[in-house]
Amino acid sequence: MNTDKNYAIRLDQNDNLASFRKEFYISNETIYLDGNSLGLMSKRAETAVTTLMNSWKTYAIDGWTEGKHPWFYLSEKLGGMSAQLVGAKPEEVIITGSTTTNLHQLVATFFHPTNEKNKILADELNFPSDIYALKSQLQLKGLDPADHLLQIKSKNGYTLDTQSIIDRMQEDVALIVLPGVLYRSGQILDMERLTKEAHQRNILIGFDLCHSIGSIPHQLSEWDVDFAFWCTYKHLNGGPGSVGGLYVNEKHFGKEPGLAGWFSSAKEKQFDMEHTLTAAEDAGAFQIGTPHVLSVAPLLGSLEMFEEAGIEEIRKKSLRLTNYLMQLIDSELADYHFKIANPRDDKTRGGHVFLEHPEAARICKALKAEGIVPDFRNPNGIRLAPVALYNTFEDVWQTVQMLKTIMREERYKKYENKRGVIA
């Protein structure tokens, strides 16, 4: 393993995505490795916000139908721009809501328990918000989550076994909701196989793509996935609280939305003001409320960059970055009790590296004090996410060297081994 800094510099010189780095606001004092929690702000995103602010200023109410980006069609426009990231047709994707509200919408739409099929299958490693939503939906149906929410156990605390999930796809399961990429370990689930196995058993299946969209390619339509949902503020760099997205397979078009609202309407019927919903005949039917125009604006700029870079090229660089990071950790930090807990093989590793260490909270604080921004996951996890559009191989090299210094000099001991309010 070449641990020389010049090797990292040579890798950067041969990076065909290097030009995108200048698109982002990056502090010269900071190495930002938390893009899987909140992506950095881009100049194009800033311009897009200004553009939509000006459309409000210029057109007022007529901004709904006038200007460069008419607001009435903005969710559909951005859905079309997102479609290539999830491997879908433009009409199968809509930018709307948030991760959790979209999950509520999709479960309300697709979960119809019967006496024979009345359970939801999930997992024990998923992000808490998804589990809260699934429990709420069960309770709304008068079902006890303790009996009707099944959570696949992890054999090692980090990853899920595909066969274990398949084995529990039994006759009592009506719906499956799983992450595309696990938020802690970064494991990529085999969405294609899981979908095929679910459908063979007459079970609907959907995926949370929060940690996979913008990081790995998907082929949702080809895989015949029933639905998916995601946030846009991580790898998609949509900004804090930016509007989420959802996918519904075209075979489900015409299905009544479980949670209907005005923007569920077919566009040409919406202003008829009828009290009987005529739902849109595409993914737009699963909108609920008015688009959050100013919160969705940054995606106009961000998604444009994804179109130019291409998700396949982004994935190639991401794999090179995380492979390089793991190799440096193995070589430079072998004496300091770090454990790489994410999958090492390219096929099942997402866009970040997950380290475990007994002093993880203190180490994260020490890194931030030195200008390196990681992500702490309770109780002892450190996530490092070198993002293909703006991180460099030199960033990775410098991070590992600083980790080595922090451990060798025990700088982390200056800090309490306890998470902050937000971690």
- Quote the CA–CA distance of 361 and 375 in Å, as a whole number: 9
Q: Is 208 annotated as a binding residue?
A: yes
Q: Is 100 annotated as a binding residue?
A: yes
- Quote the CA–CA distance of 126 and 235 in Å, as a whole number: 18
Q: Is 275 annotated as a binding residue?
A: no
Residue 204 φ/ψ, nearest 5 degrees:
-80, 150
- Residue 151 has, within 13 A of its CA and on its CB side, a CA count of 15
Q: Is 211 annotated as a binding residue?
A: yes
Q: Is 99 annotated as a binding residue?
A: yes
- Quote the CA–CA distance of 403 and 129 in Å, as a whole number: 32
The pair of three-digit structure tokens given for residue 191, joined into one six-digit string: 């969405």
- Quote the CA–CA distance of 94 and 38 in Å, as a whole number: 21
Q: Is 223 annotated as a binding residue?
A: no
Q: What is the CA radius of gyration of the chain?
A: 22
Cβ atoms of 372 and 3 closer than 8 Å = no
- Quote the CA–CA distance of 330 and 349 in Å, as a whole number: 17
Residue holding tokens 């998700």?
A: 311
Pairing state between β 204-208 and 173-179: parallel
Q: Is 262 annotated as a binding residue?
A: yes
Q: Is 98 annotated as a binding residue?
A: no
Q: Is 64 annotated as a binding residue?
A: no
The string of DSSP codes covering 61-117 is GGGGTSSSS-GGGHHHHHHHHHHHHHT--GGGEEE-S-HHHHHHHHHHHH----SS-
Look up residue 415 and give its DSSP letter: S
Q: Is 324 annotated as a binding residue?
A: no
Q: Is 71 annotated as a binding residue?
A: no
Cβ atoms of 246 and 105 closer than 8 Å = yes
Peptide bond into 113 cis (omega under 30): no
Cβ atoms of 355 and 381 closer than 8 Å = yes
Determine the number of helices (DSSP H) and then strands (DSSP E) in the chain: 15, 13
Q: State the amino acid at position 111 in one-letter form.
A: F
Residue 208: in which H helix or E strand, if any?
strand 204-208
Residue 247 φ/ψ, nearest 5 degrees:
-125, 135
- Quote the CA–CA distance of 104 and 259 in Å, as a whole number: 8
Query: What residues form the annotated binding site?
Result: 99-100, 127-130, 208, 211, 233, 262, 290
Query: What residues form the annotated binding site for pyridoxal 5'-phosphate?
Result: 99-100, 127-130, 208, 211, 233, 262, 290
